[in-house]
Amino acid sequence: MNSIVTTCPKVSLSNGLQIPILGLGTSHDGGYSHDAMLYALRECGVRHIDTAKRYGCEEQLSIAVQESGVPRQDLWLTTKLWPGEYGYTASKKACRDSCSRLGVEYLDLYLMHWPDAMVPGRSNREVRVETWRALEELYNEGVCRAIGVSNFLVSHLKELKEDCSVVPHVNQVEYHPFQQPEELVEYCRQEGIVFEGYCPLAKGQALSHPTILQLAHKYARTPSQICIRWSVQNGVVTIPKSTKNERILENCQVFGFSLSVEDVDRVRRLHSDMKLIHLSWPLWKGLSS
């Protein structure tokens, strides 16, 4: 068994829980494979899984987790609340519905998927506050062991801090060599919010960059391993996605080497503020699945 269970570091949340620094992401539009998920859990020792209501695979994931034989207490399961279900009552129902689809009594982490609320006639801030208070209650009830947000900027986080009592435990944001929101990362760390990064390979675009290729040759590793190692070495909880067994195994094998300080800086200099996700966000507005 090529397990990362004993080698994968964990990051402490402000409430004392520890989240594995490396996870496996899922997504919509073919971003889920039952066989690959079983392989990740059984053969690679992956114990951190990230999904969302929007991705439409919570029920499938439940089946894979059951078939894997991995005890629930050994898993870190994250799912997300879609903006179409923001609001106090709707949020509470959506969370419990996700638990039901996932076949669990509690979630390790529940995230507000986007800062935009999509509620006509009401301000985004007002709806975010109402929704977050529902998440706070779910957290206090033990339905969610931790609560957080996704795609929130510093301005959104500052407003939430002013309006609510529980500071988000996590903020999950796009993070890769070409998109390094350092101001946001620094703010999160100052406030005790764990920064979590998705798209660590820049949807594959980072894998052919000359600097990444040079480092892959230097360390006798693959380009994807260089990108993921760089991310986790920066202390970012990292969730690459794949539906291929060989890629999942490759992405897990990033704890047997380290990049030098100089090489970490080389990758840092690749930042160009290239965002891959927000461009498609307007197309999703109005969707509830």
Contact (Cβ atoms closer than 8 angstroms) between residue 13 and residue 194? yes
CB 202 within 8 A of CB 177: yes
Verify whether residue 198 is a known catalytic residue.
no
The residue assigned the tokens 């494979």 is 33
Do residues 145 and 115 touch, judged by C-beta distance below 8 A? no
What CA–CA distance (Å, rounded) separates 8 from 235?
12
Phi/psi for 171 (5° steps) reads: -125, 115
Q: What's the CA gap between 201 and 181, in Å, rounded?
A: 16
CA–CA separation, 48 and 136 (whole Å): 22
Residue 113, annotated as binding a ligand: yes
Which residue, among 142, 146, 136, has the nearest Cα to 105 in the 3D structure? Answer: 142
Separation in Å, CA 8 to CA 43, 156, 195, 198, 224 = 15, 31, 17, 17, 17
Among residues 99, 121, 133, 82, the alpha carbon closest in space to that of 284 is found at 82
Number of other residues whose CB lies within 10 A of the CB of residue 137: 17
Q: Among 32, 55, 86, 198, which one carries the catalytic annotation?
A: 55
- Residues of each annotated binding site: 113
- Residues of each annotated binding site for substrate: 113
> Which residues are known to be catalytic?
55
